[in-house]
Amino acid sequence: MIKSHAIVLHRYAYSDSSWIVKALTEECGIVSFIVKGGKRKESPFKGALDPLALSEVVFRQNPNTELQFVKEATLLDWHKDMREDLLKTAKAQVMTEIVLRYAPAGVPLEGEFSLLENALAALSLPANNAPDIKPPADNAPESKPSESVFADIKPSADNTSSIFARWLLDICDLWGYTLDMHTCSRCGHPIEGAPADFHPETGAFVCNSCLGVESPRARKETLDGFYALRTGNGDIAHPEFTENALLAYLRNHIGFLREINSLKFLNEARKL
C-alpha cells in the first residue's frame, strides 16, 4: 500500500457515478485513479479529488492496470483563496496541464511535485498577506469595517504576479532547457540590468552593446519581467508578456503537439 501526497491534475467522468482522476503523486509520479461512486454526494473523498486539490492518497499500485483504486483520500489544501481568483486559477490550470501532458511518464517526479506544490501554495496566499499593505491607520472611521479599508488599497504590483513565470522558468530548468539570463548570447559577457532582447526560439538573451541600434524583438515588459525574475525581487508589472515568452520558449523545445487547452481560459481571464 502506498501513502503519498498528491496534486489532482485532471478529472473526467467515467460513468454516471465515477471519475477518472489523474494526479501528480509525490512518490510515484503521475497516477491515474478510478474513483467509483466519486460523483455521489456521500462519496467519502469529497473535495480531496477535485482538480487542483492537494491531498494525501492511499492506494495499492497494481502494475497490471493503468487505473488504480484509491483506498483513502484526505484533503490537505483545497487552495480556496486561489480558486476565488479567476486569473490565479487559470494559471494553475495551465501549470497542471503542462505537467500532465509533458512530464515524463512512469517515473517519480519529485522535482515537478515540489515546484507545483509551492506554486499552488503561493497562489493561495490571501491577497492581504502582501507585505507592502499597511494596516489601516488608527484614525480610520470606526463605521468602516476593516475589510473594506483593505479592499481600497491596491498594491502597485500583486506580490503573486511572478509565480507563474517563475514556475515556467523552473520547469524549463528541471526539464533540461535552462535559460541563462546572466550572459549575453552574442558576446558572452555578463548582462548588466535588464536584457536588451530575448529570442524565444533559442532562449538567447542579448546585451545592450550587442543589440546596438537594432530594434529588440521582445517587448520592454517581457525584458523587465525577466530582469525581475533574475533579481528575485518578485513583482512583475505585466507578467503576461514574460509568461508568454517563456511558454513560446518551452513550446519550441518540447514541441507542443497540440495547443494547451487551458491557455484559452488563461487568455480570457487576463482580459478581465
Residues that bind Zn ion (CB under 5 A): 184, 186-187, 207, 210
Nearest CA to 25 out of 41, 44, 47, 3 is that of 3
Which lies closer to Zn ion via its Cβ, residue 110 or residue 214? Answer: 214
Pinpoint the alpha helices (H) of the chain.
80-83, 86-102, 110-123, 146-152, 163-174, 208-211, 220-231, 239-250, 262-271
C-alpha separations of 236 from 2, 40, 55, 103, 128 in Å? 40, 43, 31, 27, 18
- Three cell numbers written together for 119: 506554486
Which lies closer to Zn ion via its Cβ, residue 38 or residue 195? Answer: 195
Question: Minimum Å distance from CB 200 to Zn ion?
Answer: 18
- Give 204's strand partners: 199
- Give 239's strand partners: none
Which lies closer to Zn ion via its Cβ, residue 34 or residue 210? Answer: 210
Question: Minimum Å distance from CB 197 to Zn ion?
Answer: 10
Question: Minimum Å distance from CB 124 to Zn ion?
Answer: 40
Which lies closer to Zn ion via its Cβ, residue 212 or residue 232? Answer: 212
- Three cell numbers written together for 9: 491534475
Amino acid at 262: S
Q: How many residues does the chain have?
A: 272
Which lies closer to Zn ion via its Cβ, residue 214 or residue 268? Answer: 214
Question: Minimum Å distance from CB 178 to Zn ion?
Answer: 19
Which lies closer to Zn ion via its Cβ, residue 123 or residue 207? Answer: 207
First CA to last CA across the chain, in angstroms? 46
Query: Does residue 104 sit in helix, strand or coil?
Result: coil
Question: Minimum Å distance from CB 246 to Zn ion?
Answer: 21
Question: Minimum Å distance from CB 203 to Zn ion?
Answer: 15
Distance CA 50, CA 8 (A): 7
